[in-house]
Each structure stands twice: as structure tokens, then as C-alpha cells.
Amino acid sequence: VGEKSYAIQLVGKWYGVSYTGNMKDGFTITNKEKTPWTPMIPPTRNIKVTKNWKLLTAEKPVDKIEVELYKDGVATG
């Protein structure tokens, strides 16, 4: 058992660790269970994108645009 970055793992579960108190009155160490990370199911999301054209004329230069999302500089497809 050991603490790392104010977190500790006990019996396969992660807990945040906080400390309060002082030498005179004593200390309280609190372990609060962290919410486990769960992957997105399905691993996609629908995101609405709006493109606003600020042109001198009312005409849009294209009929549609396509948007591609990147994660850490890599296209996600």
C-alpha cells in the first residue's frame, strides 16, 4: 500500500486522499472513492457544427462543409 499523487489503490479500487489537522489537535486522513473511468459506448459522439460565413455578399462559397476531429494531432476518422 502506498500513496501516489494524492491517490491510493486498495483492493482494486482507487481513492483520493486528503489530509486535515495539525500536530496539536491531530490529523485526519480521508480516502474518498474515485469514480472509475469508463470508455464511451459506443466510442463515438454526435457533435453539431455550425459554420457562419461573414461575407460581403449573401452567397455562400460552398454548399456544404465537412469537419474532421483530431485527437492529439491525429485524425479520428
- Looking at the structure of the chain, the number of domains it has is 1
Residues 18-71 pLDDT 10s: 999 999 999 999 999 988 777 777 777 778 888 888 888 878 888 888 888 888
Residue 9, helix vs strand vs coil: strand
Tell me if 48 sits within 8 A of 42, measured CB to CB: no
Q: Which residue has the cell 452567397?
A: 59
pLDDT for the residue 3: 67
Which residue range is the domain that position 15 belongs to?
Answer: 3-75
- How many C-beta atoms surround the C-beta of residue 14 within 10 A? 15
pTM of the model: 0.42
